[in-house]
Amino acid sequence: MDKTILPNELGNILDITFEEFQAALDKVEIKSVEEHWRLPTDPEVRTQEPTAKTLVEKLAPLHSVFIDDSLKDDIITKVSIPDLIEGNQPQYSGIILFGPPGNGKTVLLRAIRDVFYNFGAYAKEISTSQIDSAYVSEFPKNLEKEITTALSQAQKRGKPSFLMFDEGSIITQKADLGASSTAKHYQQAIEVLKRYIGNERNLIVGISTNQVYESFEEALTRDGRVTSYFIPPLNEEQKTRMWRFFSQKYGLVELTDEQAVKLAKTSKTESGAFIEEYCRAFFRNRRNQITLEKGCKTLIEAYEHGVRISDKEVGDSINFENLFTDVQAALKRKYDRINANNQGGNDTSKRKIGF
């Protein structure tokens, strides 16, 4: 390497000699262009060894799912988790979860994905918007590429692969419901799925959609392929468990049964997504509230004057009373915002194909 490659200005800034710079370069591991391109594009394919060792640890992700227990058991069976645990050939090919948004479809699919990962299987969450290329004719090819990769990994690992399609309406709906110019390409994508699902036992799929059952492509849901499940809104008992679980998970308060029931009743019209998001954000919201209580009119003013609230101060201030009061305030703000957004009225003339 020529010394002119290291300008004097750079050497002065870094306070190193050319020889030191050269020695550091010699230790750098250069990756290929292909590796640099691929690494950031597959965030849902985990390459490190699973940390879960015991059976309890491997199945732990399913404890964050709060649907009816018998429904959960049926779904777990249809994605062949019992076969995965016992090392048997999968008996079922997968599921379609449908229903209103916010009821836990994505959470359940990700829990299943994580269980497959914990057992050393190939498990990937696929964004249909990413594989649905700007050139719609590429969509079936991209989909088949994902499937063949999963099958190759299943053979390599000796375990079935799991592919998760969140918001997968374009691969579940009847082709004639799509735009006329693209319907044939969506039909080709469905043909790809039909070719593999049910015929390749080492491929398990999980698809979530907000569409209604009547819009599904019948060839996908016939016996031997995927099983469809309606995920209903959570009931009070399930919401009670959710409040207790997520309040503890995000370090808020350890709720009593009575307190958890009170929160569940207050949020009886809310989805499970509201409960988790509320608990996740409460610590930050509580910090903001304390900041304002210290005399600052706005958060911007607090930042400008260097007002900072420690994690300990926030944690010490959290109790059930201010948690419950803030839930009520949050719900009021939410519905005030919804009412304001709805002032312009709604167009109900369109045919309903989803929730």
Instruction: Write the pLDDT tens digit of every residue in 297-310.
Output: 888 888 888 888 88
| Contact present, 133 and 186 (Cβ < 8 Å) | no
Check residues 187 and 260 and name the one with the higher pLDDT: 260
Q: Are strands 123-127 and 161-166 parallel, antiparallel or unpaired?
A: parallel
| pLDDT over 50 at 235, yes or no | yes
- Residue from 224, 326, 242 nearest 283 by CA: 326
Rounded distance between C-alpha atoms, residue 155 and residue 125, angstroms: 19
Q: Are strands 94-98 and 161-166 parallel, antiparallel or unpaired?
A: unpaired
Instruction: Provide the whole-model pTM.
Output: 0.72
| pLDDT over 70 at 63, yes or no | yes
Q: At what angle do helices 257-266 and 236-249 cross, to 10 degrees?
A: 110
CB atoms within 10 A of CB 161: 26
Rounded distance between C-alpha atoms, residue 260 and residue 303, angstroms: 35
CA within 13 Å, CB half, 43: 3
Q: Give the model's pLDDT for residue 41.
A: 39
Mean pLDDT across the stretch 106-131?
Answer: 90
Check residues 52 and 34 and name the one with the higher pLDDT: 52
Q: Give the model's pLDDT for residue 291.
A: 87
Architecture, CATH, for domain 41-230: 3-Layer(aba) Sandwich (3.40)
Residues 6+ apart with CB under 8 A from 315: 251, 283
Reported confidence tier of residue 73, pLDDT bands at 50, 70, 90: very high
Mean pLDDT across the stretch 157-174?
Answer: 86
- Residue from 183, 163, 181, 164 nearest 173 by CA: 183
Reported confidence tier of residue 136, pLDDT bands at 50, 70, 90: low
Mean pLDDT across the stretch 155-172?
Answer: 89
Rounded distance between C-alpha atoms, residue 31 and residue 41, angstroms: 15
